[in-house]
Chain A
C-alpha cells in the first residue's frame, strides 16, 4: 500500500491516490486534496463532502451521485457544477473515501 505525503503528513493511498484509511482524513487534508485537482472549496462543496463522510461512517461505502442527490439533498446537476466532469470520483477523492465501486 503506497504512502504519500500531503501537508507534511504521511497518508495511505491506493494506486490512484484515493485514501485508504478513513481516520487519516480531516478537513485540512480535504482542502489540500481538493486543491490538487483544481477545486477551491466553498460551503456548497463542504456540504457534499461532509455528507459523504457521515454517510460512509454508517454505510461503509462511498455514496453514489444518486445517493448524494436523494439522501444528501444535493441535485446531480449541482454536483456536476461543484465537481466538474467526474463528480463521483472527485467527491470521493476529496472526502478521503474509496473510489466508488462499479458493480459488476
Chain B
C-alpha cells in the first residue's frame, strides 16, 4: 500500500485530495490529510466582514464536508518533516510515513515580526483582517469609530491575496461615504512597493483610482516598527506616518514546521519548480498553493489553476514518466471597488494584468481592469462557486493557462 500524505486542508490541499482520490486506486493508495482543526474558512470573505457585508458564520464550514470518502482527516499540528526518512512527526508524537508528500500549509500573518505591532494597541487602534478573529474585531471597531486618520498598510511582499488591501481601502472609502462621514476620515495607503500595485499597467489604473477617491499613496515604505504610544508607523529611512486607526497586513510567512524541517526559504516557503511544483531537493515532495515559493500571487485562484494541471503531472511522476503539464502562474482576481462595482485582473508569470474582456474575447461578460457591476456580481457569486464547485474539484469553464485573446496590449511599453 502506497501512502500519499497531504499537509494542510485548506483550498489547495482539499482540491489535491478531491482531484487525486478518484485517480489513485483505493487498493493501492492510502490518502491522509493533516490539519490542526476541522474548520475551513472561505478566506476571500474576511474582507467583507469589517463592513458588515458578510457575517462570520457565512465564511466557515467543517473541513470534513469537502473531503471525499477514502481520505482520512487527521487532526494535529506538524512538528517536522524528516524528508530523508520519508516521515512526518506530529506534535502529539504520531509518526506518519509517506511515499509522496504534498505540502499545502499555506501562508499566515505574523504581526509579532514587526516591533510594536502586537503591543498594547493590538486590536485597539491596530487591526488586521486576515483572520476571522481580526476581521470580526475590526467590524466592531468600525461600528463605533468616529473618524480620523485611517492608514491601510502592507508590511512586506509577498502577501496572501495582494489585491485585498486595495479592496479594503476602496470599500472603506465607500463605507464612510455611505455613513455620511467620509469628510471626517483621512485615508492613506502605505506600501513597500513603488506604486499602488506590483505591475506597471495595473499599478497606474489602481493608482488613479486611489487619487480619484482622495486617498493618499505613500510608497516605498519599509516599516521598521509601530510606535503604539505615539500611534505612528516608523520606516527604516526614518519616515513617520501617524494613524488613529491602522489596518495592517502583517508579514506573511509559510508554516513554521517548514523552517524547522529545513525545507523552506527565508520566509518558510518551499522552493519548487515553478512549472511542476516538485520540490527542488526531494523527488517525492510537492508544494502547492501558497506554501510554494513560485513567483505569482498567493491566492486561491492560483491554487485552482494549479489543480487543473497538477493531477496529471502527479500521476505521470509516480509512474516514473516525465511531467508534461507546465503551470504558467495563471491567476485571476476580482477586486471589489465599492458601491456595488468591481474590477477583474487576469495574469501569469509573464503577462501582467491588462485591460480587455474575460473569458470571451470582446464579449466578457467580465471586464478586465475596469469597474463594472458585472465584476462585482462575479465576486458575489464566487462564494457559492467556491464551496460547491471549486473545493470539490469540479471543472470550471475557464482555461487553466492564460490566454492573450481579449486582452488590450496598447498600454504596454
Q: Is the CB of A102 within 8 A of B237?
A: no
Given contacts A70-B266, A71-B266, contact A103 B198 (CB under 8 A): yes
Q: Is B186 an interface residue (CB 8 A)?
A: no
Q: Are B266 and A103 in contact (CB under 8 A)?
A: no
**A104-B352 CB under 8 A given contacts A65-B222, A77-B236:** yes
Interface residues of B in 206-257 (CB under 8 A from A): 220, 222, 224, 236-237
Chain B residues touching A, range: 20 to 34
In the complex, per-residue mask of B39-56: 1 if CB is within 8 Å of any chain A CB, else 0: 000000000000000000
Taking CB atoms, residues of chain A closer than 8 Å to B236 are 76-77, 80
Determine the chain B residues whose CB is within 8 A of the CB of A15 once the complex forms. 413
Q: Is the interface of B mostly helix, strand, loop or mixed?
A: loop
Question: What's the nearest-Cβ distance from chain B to residue A51, in Å?
Answer: 13
The chain A residue with its CB closest to the CB of B352 is A104
Question: Do A104 and B224 contact each other (CB < 8 Å), given the known contacts A76-B236, A80-B237?
Answer: no
Whole-angstrom CA separation of A47 from B222 in the bound complex:
22
**Residue among A66, A80, A84, A101 making CB contact with B267, cutoff 8 Å:** A66
Whether the pair B198, A77 counts as a contact (CB closer than 8 A) is no
**Is A66's CB under 8 angstroms from B347's CB?**
no
Chain A at the B interface: SS class: loop
Is B119 on the interface with A (CB-CB < 8 A)? no
CA distance A70 to B353 in the complex (A): 32
List chain B residues, Cβ under 8 A from A71: 266
Asked whether, in the complex, the Cβ of B162 is within 8 Å of the Cβ of A66, the reply is no
Complex interface: chain A residues within 8 A of B199 (CB): 102, 104
Chain A residue at minimal CB-CB distance from B296: A104
Given contacts A71-B266, A84-B237, A85-B237, contact A104 B198 (CB under 8 A): yes
Question: In whole Å, how far is B333's beta carbon from the nearest beta carbon of chain A?
Answer: 9
B397 at the interface (CB under 8 A from A): no
- A residues bordering B, Cβ < 8 Å? 15, 64-67, 70-71, 76-77, 80, 84-86, 101-104
- Interface residues of chain B, those whose CB is within 8 Å of chain A, are 156-158, 162, 193-194, 198-199, 220, 222, 224, 236-237, 265-267, 295-297, 331, 347, 352-353, 413
Can you identify 12 A-B contacts, CB atoms within 8 angstroms? A66-B156, A76-B222, A76-B224, A77-B236, A80-B236, A80-B237, A85-B220, A102-B199, A103-B198, A103-B296, A104-B162, A104-B199
